[in-house]
Structures are given as C-alpha cells and as structure tokens.
Amino acid sequence: MVNIPVDATAFSVFDMQELSADMFDAGLASAEDELAVVFFWGFECFNCEIAKKAMLAKPGEIRALGLKWFHSNVYEHRELGRRFMLHGVPTWFFFYRGKRLGRATGWHGLGQFEAAVAAAREKIRALDMKHLS
C-alpha cells in the first residue's frame, strides 16, 4: 500500500480552522453570518489530495467565493462521518448560522463547486426572505 502524505498547504492558504467532533458546533457558530464550508477529508485519501491541489491552483477564485473555511479529518473524527452520513471524501458541507444548506461530494472542478456555493447562497436568500415576512 502506498503511503500518501497529508499536504496541509490548502488548510493554511484558505485559513481553514480544524474542527473536531466535540467542538464542531461551536466552531461553526464562530462563522456567525458568513457562509461556512466544512471540508471533510481523510488520511491517505488520494482524491482529497487532488482536490486540495486543484484548489491551490486557483486560490484567487476560491477566495472570491467569500467562504468561512473549516476542515475535519473524518477518519480521525469518525463520529462526524456518521453524523453527516458520509460515504466518501472529499465532501464539503455548507452552513449558515449553524443550519446545513447543502453539500458538494468529490471535486469535479471549480465550476461545480461554484454552483454548489451559489445554491447555498440562494438558500440563504430564501431563509432571509422568510424571516422578513
């Protein structure tokens, strides 16, 4: 078996705060009114490393999405994998004020990720409109 090292560069470049199971909700609460995204990944996950490299290839475009970033290794924090019924990584979940808005599973390019972010922002607009009425 090939041992794939974990490259943490993306975590620092995008200022991703690490979340463990016991601090997950409090960590998300720190995002306040920002659209938060949690990058669920795992050790020795080839596709996770590919996703991080693809993100690092377009840092300006990723930052332009205006997200509050978090990450969690679900191989280490298995209870989060169970909580969110993850069947594979990488997976990104989007949250607003602690409410789960959607997810993107696997890295299928920046365009698909941007579409997932846009869908999450549309849900925020709908939530805000509901609160105004």
Residues 53-110: tens digit of each pLDDT: 999 999 999 999 999 999 999 999 999 999 999 999 999 999 999 999 999 999 999 9
130 versus 13: which is more confidently predicted?
Answer: 13
Would you state the pLDDT for residue 57? 97
- The model carries a pTM of 0.93
pLDDT per position as a tens digit, 96-105: 999 999 999 9
Would you state the pLDDT for residue 2? 56
Average pLDDT, integer, range 103-120:
97
Would you state the pLDDT for residue 98? 93
Q: What tokens were used for 24?
A: 């997950």
Domains of the chain: 9-132 (3.40.30.10)
In angstroms, the CA 2 to CA 61 distance is: 32
